[in-house]
Amino acid sequence: MLSSLVAMQSFFVSAKARLSREETGATAVEYGLLIGLIAVAIVAVLVVLGPQLAALFQGVSSKLPAVTTP
């Protein structure tokens, strides 16, 4: 009887240890997915706003006085 209780306890302890270790890997996967989604969002914003930003900087650049070097 005692040996079966010890066997069950060791099974539950080892199962708990396995689950806690796997949770760390799942967290890493979740962070990877978040980074990937953020990267896709940044690329999408740059594609959409890229021409507008280029025109804005070109307008500012054309209004600046030319600098002459001696």
Give the Cα separation of 19 and 68 in Å (integer): 68
Give the Cα separation of 50 and 44 in Å (integer): 10
Predicted confidence (pLDDT) per residue in 14-69, tens digit: 776 666 665 556 688 888 899 999 999 999 999 999 999 999 999 998 888 877 77
Q: What is the pLDDT of residue 12?
A: 74
DSSP-assigned letter for residue 67: P
Q: How confident is the model at residue 3 (pLDDT cuts 50, 70, 90)?
A: confident
Give the Cα separation of 8 and 1 in Å (integer): 11
Give the Cα separation of 17 and 33 in Å (integer): 25
User: The pTM is what?
Assistant: 0.49
Cβ neighbours around 45 below 10 Å, total: 10
